[in-house]
Structure 1
Amino acid sequence: MLIIVQIVLVIAVMLVSLALMRGGSNARHLAVRRILLMLFAAGAALSVFFPDALTHVATFFGIGRGTDLVLYGSVVSLFVFMATTYQRFRHSETALTKLSRRIAIDEAEKPGELN
C-alpha cells in the first residue's frame, strides 16, 4: 500500500511541476525557474521514497523532523508566490492604466470637431 501512495505522490509532484513550467516572462527567468523546479521535483520525489533522508537534512539544518522542514519550505514558497503574484498584478494594473489613458486620449473630442 505504501508504494501506491508513494507513486501517486511522485506523479502529483511531476504534474504540478509540469504545470508550473509552462509560461514565463523572459528566457533567463524561465531557465532559472525551470532548473529550480526540476530540483524541487527531484527532491520531492526522493523525499517520498526516502523519508529518512529528509529527516537527516532537517537535522543538518537544526530542525527536528523532516515534516517541519517541509512546513517551513511551504511557508517560504507561499511568501514567494504572494510576492511574485503581487508584482504581476501591479504590472498588469499599470499596463491597464496606460491603455485606458491612451484610449481616453484617442477617443476624446478634438477642438472644432463636430459629432
Structure 2
Amino acid sequence: MDSQLLIKLVLLAGLAVVALLIVWPGRGARRMALRRISLLLVVVTAAVAVIFPQLANDVAGLFGVGRGADLLLYGLVVAFVGYVIATRAHHSRVDLQVTELARAQALGAAVDAGSIHR
C-alpha cells in the first residue's frame, strides 16, 4: 500500500470541496459564513503551525508526508487554487455588473438624446 495514500486522499478531498464550492449556487449568508469559517480555520491552522512547528512534522508523519513544511505547502496549494477560482468568479460577476450598468446608461443616454431632437 502506498505510504502517501492518506495525504493524497485528503488533498483530493480538499480539491473536491473547492470544486463543490465552484458549482454550488448562491451568494447568500450561508455561503459567506462558510467562507469566513474556512478563512478562520486557515488562520488558526497557520497560527498553530507557527507556535508549534514540531506539531506540523508530527501531523505530516501521520499523513505519510516527509516534513511538516511539505504538508503546509500542499495545503497552501489547495487553498491557493480555491482562492484563484473564487477570485475569478468574483471578477466575472463584477464584469457582468459593469456591462449591465454600461448598457443601462447607454440606453438612458440614447432615450434622452432622442427626446431632445424631437
The bucket for the TM-score relative to the shorter chain is 0.5 to 0.7
For 2:55 and 2:77, the matched residues in 1 are separated by: 21
Equivalent position of 1:55 in the other structure: 57
Corresponding residue number in structure 2 for 1:12: none
Of 95, 98, 101, the residue aligned with 1:96 is 98
The 10-residue stretch of structure 1 (78-87 or 37-46) with the greater mean CA deviation from structure 2: 37-46
Higher RCO structure, 1 or 2 (CA under 8 Å, sep 6+): 2
Moved segments of 4+, more than 3 Å: none
Q: Does 1:34 align with 2:36?
A: yes
Unaligned runs of 5+ in 1: 1-24
Normalised by the length of structure 2, the TM-score is 0.66
The CA deviation at 1:114 is 1.2
Aligned partner of 2:30: which letter? R
Q: How many residues align?
A: 90
**TM-score, structure 1 as length reference:** 0.67
Structure 2: give runs of 5+ residues left out of the alignment.
1-26
Distance 1:51 1:96 in 2: 46
